Chains A and B, each alone.
Chain A
Amino acid sequence: MNPMPGVGTMKFAMWLFLASEALFFAALISAYVLLRLTSPSWPDVSELLNVPLVALNTSLLLISSVTMVYGFASIEDGKQSRLRLYLIATAVIGTVFVSIQAVEWAQLIGEGVTASNSVFGSTFYVLTGFHGLHVLIGILFLVLTIFRSYRGRYSQAEHGGVELMGLYWHFVDIVWIFLFTIIYLI
């Protein structure tokens, strides 16, 4: 029996999961804020980090949310091939996002900023690393969703899996919106 009439059980569970994820990232951001406010020195992030490149990456993640939501709209209209096209586009853009983040990490490590030699480094790698991990998990589930769509698991009448995939992906986008502002702009 559904304890929440009018709300799908899986969607209800996904929103609860996202609520717990929000608090997980809030704890990390809280630690970052505390360490930044109390640290005797903090690097000039506009000089240390490649802000234009990350701004481009931020735009890519926003675009991936558009492709994800159009994928959901496509299957709502019963358009299977469009769903697959948009899901593949979302997965590809997500992969490019993670790749650019890997390039940024490599540049920073090359400049001697590591997780162990500065407070900034440890908080930066933990925050962006956990977010990147969430994007990677999202890409894995996107691949699974694409695979399932090829097997005909989604239709105009039943596409709950695509909706759950979209909720997770957009949540990861929201987390990045705040991380971009807090780490790179402030």
Chain B
Amino acid sequence: MSEHSATENHRPNYLLIFGALFVLTLIEIGIALTGIAASAQVVILLALAFTKALLVALYYMHLKFEGPIIRIIAAVPVLLVLIVILIPIFDVWIFG
């Protein structure tokens, strides 16, 4: 397995990624404490969480340097997860 190591020729600056994750976490907390509209807050906070998750997956899990097979295996459940979580939201939104 190791002969196919994803980071063989690529090594991101892991501390820089952590810095970005830490700053995004601080921004999340700041937004949660502000009095902006609840719906806007939810959208912004979820977008920030998704960005953080993407950073971890791309750079710490080395997805950015993987081949198409692993990328597809990682992408398909993301779509399914979104569907599973959006179903109850739309259900409540449409049927009350």
Seen from chain A, the residues whose Cβ lies within 8 Å of a Cβ on chain B are 4, 6-12, 15-16, 18-20, 22-23, 25-27, 29-31, 33-34, 37-38, 46, 51, 55, 58-59, 62-63, 65-66, 68-70, 72-73, 76, 157-160, 163, 166-167, 170-171, 173-174, 177-178, 180-182, 184-186
Contact = CB atoms under 8 A, between A and B. Distances in A.
A160 B80 contact: no
Given A7-B70, A34-B91, A73 B45 contact: no
A68 B60 contact: yes
Contacts of A6: 4, 67, 69
Contacts of A181: 28, 45-46, 48-49
A33 B21 CA distance: 25
Task: Please report whether the interface of chain B is mostly helix, strand, loop or mixed according to DSSP.
Answer: helix
Contacts of B76: 19
A53 to B, nearest CB: 12
Nearest to B7: A76
A184 B33 CA distance: 11
A62 to B, nearest CB: 5
Contacts of B87: 30
Given A7-B4, A171-B61, 19 more contacts: A8-B4, A9-B1, A12-B69, A12-B73, A19-B76, A20-B77, A26-B80, A29-B85, A37-B88, A37-B89, A38-B92, A46-B32, A59-B22, A66-B18, A69-B60, A73-B11, A173-B60, A180-B49, A185-B45
Contact of A173 (B48, B56, B81, B88): B56
Contacts of A166: 60-61
Contact of A177 (B18, B31, B53): B53
A34 B15 contact: no
B67 A7 contact: yes
A185 B88 contact: no
Contacts of A19: 73-74, 76-77
Given A30-B84, A177-B56, A178-B49, A58 B25 contact: yes
B73 A15 contact: yes
Interface in B1-24: 1-5, 7-8, 11, 14-15, 18, 21-22
Contacts of B15: 66
B92 A34 contact: yes
Contacts of A170: 56-57, 60-61
Given A15-B74, A160-B1, A167-B61, A174 B85 contact: no
